Amino acid sequence: MTQPTIESVLNENRTFAPPEAFASDATIGSMDKYQELYDRAAADPAKFWAELAESELHWFEKWHTVLDWQPPVAKWFDGGKINITYNCLDRHLTTARKNKAAIIWEGEPGDSRTYTYAQLHREVCKAANAIKAMGVKKGDRVGVYMPMVPEAAIAMLACARIGAVHSVVFGGFSAEALRDRLNDGEAKLVITADGGYRKDKTIPLKSAVDAALADNAAPSVTNVLVLKRTGQDINMAEGRDVWWHDLVDAASADCPPEPMDSEDMLFVLYTSGSTGKPKGVVHTTGGYNLYTHVTTKWTFDLKETDVYWCTADVGWITGHSYIVYGPLSNGATSLMYEGVPRPSNPGCFWDVVEKYGVTIFYTAPTAIRAFIKMGDDLPNARDLSSLRLLGTVGEPINPEAWMWYHTVIGKERCPIIDTWWQTETGGFMLTPLPGATPTKPGSATKPFPGILAEIVDLDGNPAAADEGGYLVVKYPWPSMMRTVYGNFDRFRRTYWEHIQPKDGNYMYFAGDGARKDKDGYFWVMGRVDDVINVSGHRLGTMEIESALVSHPAVAEAAVVGKPDDLKGEAVVAFVILDGGFEGGDDLAKELKGHVTKEIGAIARPDEFRFADDLPKTRSGKIMRRLLRNLASGQEIAGDTSTLQDRSVLDKLRGGA
């Protein structure tokens, strides 16, 4: 099995029409219907979104301007007043959904809980009152550092209820990474748990929070709200730390939703780029609510009876948009699972599908590849007949993995939606609509209605069919990021100035290369910047390099990705040591531990190459292209004439 390369996907010409039974019952059940929607949206995107904002969402007050576009600043539904938790909770309570399961949760040690919409509403209101009592006000930022428990979603919704801005930090990030994010957003409160369960171990979340806050290193944080999950021993700092069960359980369940301006900030979520520290991607309220609502409804072809399961963690954008906000805004049943497949329980995902009768299953290619390795017996031993739709996200899916998903899990009955999008886009950009779009294994197919996507060169000229180029979006959409938290200039430079059309137009570009085939299908090839994608997680090579050089043994480091059968990409670190240090297994192990401490285990290099020097241009720039060739054992491709010292290559080729 290999990662999709241009050659392998160019040869991919199988097409799968939506199964008849699925299409006949689908909201958007034909390509004609898709095309009609697409054309109508493209002709007047603002009108298209305004109609949906009117029909799909509840507004306390209507907007005066649908779209105010002063590139690269977009305002959607300006003047409108809205609260996303009203749309996710309150409005369902006057319907038959009141006692429908909103969240079904399966805990890792086998415990489980279900919240109906009425119960979830109650818990969110109580949590909202609790954080209000801790002094959190509209506009304040709140760090959420939680395991995959319902209280993670409740914490997010509680913030949104009162207009506080949540900043969720994935529980696998280290204390250092957490501290950076809390400081960048100047969070006032941190919501966490004593610990969480992960792969048969407990992870010490509260002690990581303690380490992040030690020595007043995150001075904006005044309180920590702590959920008891594992019962492990922790310290509670007097006057700062409060138990969830003391404060939330005693709080009133009456908390009216704060009427928010459509453009008020809803959340910040940090993601990696090719330069500098992770960026705080800012999303606002009205447009994000609308776009995640509509994409969830159409792309998952949601039915009232669906049991929908997205396997992501709420710490990532997929969890924000497609575990919490999109499904709940639609009144769907969203399943949350605390566990991950692991050697001690490789069939756990299929057990969950069988136990709850999951109908829509949304996961990542890296998980699918891991399942293939574990063998067909595991899924074949379970009843997966409830499934009707499968989805994938996070990285390009290789056609082999797609076909396995299609046959072994979907039994050729379930359409597959391959959804391309990003933290920055808020919601799906390229995706099949399952009752309409014929799919091709490895292609995210076509733009969602209202999204004007294109493949262009650096001047913004469209590429020819099957010619590679930069994947851009040419017109604003409601859930686009609004800025980098605290750094508008970085936002403009990173996303809007890379492609420079001659006519002065702005195009959004966030790092992926792609091509479009003669049928207008998009094939995303992966990042073209210094971001690597490990098991569907975005990592900036520069972040890992900064972590490495903060170790006393390391003088210089360069990190690149190399193709990996399971993870998509593996992290390879080229390291120049300071005098007196000896490269070898022991040091490699120590450096892995160091990166884990600085960022988290997801960023730990898989392989080290210790060297005396790195290939550089005469002006001193590291030639990453050559390092990528070396890491993957390929012949050195392309021009090396600017290389300062050619003997460096021969030394590095040997590896360690």
Which residues of this chain interact with ligand WTA, rule CB under 6 A? 271, 316-318, 393-396, 418-423, 444, 510-512, 524, 526-527, 533, 538
Q: Where are the beta strands (DSSP E) in 71-230?
A: 73-78, 81-82, 101-106, 112-116, 141-145, 165-168, 189-193, 196-198, 201-203, 223-227
**Neighbour tally for 166: CB within 10 Å:** 24
Closer Cβ to ligand WTA, 274 or 386, answer by number: 274
Q: How far apart are CA 311 and CA 334, in angstroms?
A: 10
Exposed / middle / buried, residue 232 (Cβ in 10 Å: 0-12, 13-18, 19+): middle
Closer Cβ to ligand WTA, 63 or 291, answer by number: 291
Give one word for 472, left, alpha or beta, with left for phi > 0 and alpha for psi -120 to 50: beta
Helices then strands, each counted (H, E), the chain: 22, 30
Asked whether the beta carbons of 537 and 468 are under 8 A apart, the reply is no
Question: First vs last Cα of the chain: how many Å apart?
Answer: 25
Q: How far apart are CA 525 and CA 3, in angstroms?
A: 10
Which residue reads 């415990």 in tokens? 111
Q: What is the DSSP letter of 494?
A: I
Asked whether the beta carbons of 337 and 366 are under 8 A apart, the reply is no
User: Nearest-CB residue to ligand WTA?
Assistant: 423
Closer Cβ to ligand WTA, 184 or 569, answer by number: 569
Q: How far apart are CA 615 and CA 644, in angstroms?
A: 7
CB of 633 to ligand WTA, least distance (A): 23
Closer Cβ to ligand WTA, 4 or 143, answer by number: 4
Q: What is the DSSP letter of 462?
A: B
Q: How far apart are CA 415 and CA 653, in angstroms?
A: 44
Question: What are the structure tokens assigned to 218, written together?
Answer: 């995150």
Closer Cβ to ligand WTA, 478 or 526, answer by number: 526
Closer Cβ to ligand WTA, 394 or 583, answer by number: 394
CB of 312 to ligand WTA, least distance (A): 8
CB of 275 to ligand WTA, least distance (A): 16
Q: What is the DSSP letter of 323?
A: I
Closer Cβ to ligand WTA, 150 or 396, answer by number: 396
CB of 531 to ligand WTA, least distance (A): 7
List, in sequence order, every residue forming a beta bridge with 512; answer none if it has no partner.
527
CB of 526 to ligand WTA, least distance (A): 6
Q: Where are the beta strands (DSSP E) in 338-452?
A: 360-363, 389-393, 416-419
Closer Cβ to ligand WTA, 5 or 252, answer by number: 5
Question: What are the structure tokens assigned to 410, written together?
Answer: 């979907």
CB of 609 to ligand WTA, least distance (A): 25
CB of 30 to ligand WTA, least distance (A): 23
CB of 424 to ligand WTA, least distance (A): 7
Question: What are the structure tokens assigned to 434, written together?
Answer: 């399952």
Closer Cβ to ligand WTA, 225 or 471, answer by number: 471
CB of 527 to ligand WTA, least distance (A): 5
Closer Cβ to ligand WTA, 317 or 403, answer by number: 317
Q: Give the C-alpha distances (Å, rounded to integers) separating 256 from 121, 124, 159, 160, 365.
A: 11, 11, 13, 11, 41
Which residues, other chains included, contact 621 with Cβ-Cβ below 8 Å and sequence gap of 6+? none
CB of 281 to ligand WTA, least distance (A): 8
Give one word for 620, left, alpha or beta, with left for phi > 0 and alpha for psi -120 to 50: left
Closer Cβ to ligand WTA, 85 or 363, answer by number: 363
CB of 446 to ligand WTA, least distance (A): 13
Q: Report whether the peptide linkage leading into residue 341 is cis, meaning its omega lies within 30 degrees of zero.
A: no
